[in-house]
A and B are shown apart, each in its own frame.
Chain A
């Protein structure tokens, strides 16, 4: 999708919508500790923000994360999750046992922060995969 649908109205609307979309995604991510939400949903929202930019503005959008960027994001997200799990192994706990990580005074708080960390990893993974799918499905048509 090299050329977007961008009329000036869509462009202005997109510019005003995207900051709130990203803010809402971060809210959904960090509010997962208190209510519905979490990494998967936040990743879908962040991916949507990027996809919206690509739809409206085309290939050289403001938030133009392409195929390789999406792949890097997705794999980095999964690796963050794994790295936190292995870090707790390193500090003498079980795999993914965040209570032993030296990031908070009480083990319960370390667990809360560990949950936040892996949720961030999940977010990056889902966001990257959504960008990959959109990029591949729209890139195909432009070769004709």
Chain B
């Protein structure tokens, strides 16, 4: 069983390496990720959001749904900590 899983892992690793050979090189400005929506963000970020910091405009405006998810994940993590760590105490202390 261990040998079988080792073989499967090696095969998966080789598949990943084969797939990674086709990835565009780091910093390639012709990469599909860099020619799709990024130019529009760069050109119109200030005009549309009056925010000088492009990172902030993308984070909190163009991709604000993503940020909403991050905040909700953090808050749920906090509530989960309350229930995991605080579970041994009586409920009225929480």
Query: How far is it, in angstroms, between the C-alpha of A77 and the C-alpha of B73 when the chains are bound?
Result: 12
User: 0/1 per residue, A11-49, Cβ < 8 Å to B?
Assistant: 000000000000000000000111110110000000000
A132 adjacent to B68 (CB under 8 Å): no
Question: Is B72 part of the contact surface with A, judged by Cβ < 8 Å?
Answer: yes
- Provided the pairs A108-B48, A111-B51 are in contact, do residues A125 and B67 lie with their beta carbons within 8 angstroms? no
Number of interface residues of B (CB under 8 A): 29
B61 adjacent to A115 (CB under 8 Å): yes
Number of interface residues of A (CB under 8 A): 43
Interface of chain A, main secondary structure: helix
- Provided the pairs A32-B56, A111-B51 are in contact, do residues A128 and B86 lie with their beta carbons within 8 angstroms? no
Q: Which residues of B are found within 8 Å of A128, using beta-carbon distances? A: 75, 78
Query: How far is it, in angstroms, between the C-alpha of A36 and the C-alpha of B54 when the chains are bound?
Result: 10
A132 adjacent to B57 (CB under 8 Å): no
Question: Is B49 part of the contact surface with A, judged by Cβ < 8 Å?
Answer: yes
User: 0/1 per residue, B60-79, Cβ < 8 Å to A?
Assistant: 11001101100110110111
Minimum distance in angstroms from A127 CB to a CB of chain B:
10
Q: Which residues of B are found within 8 Å of A111, using beta-carbon distances? A: 48-51, 61
B interface residues, Cβ below 8 angstroms from A: 47-53, 55-57, 59-61, 64-65, 67-68, 71-72, 74-75, 77-79, 81-82, 85-86, 94
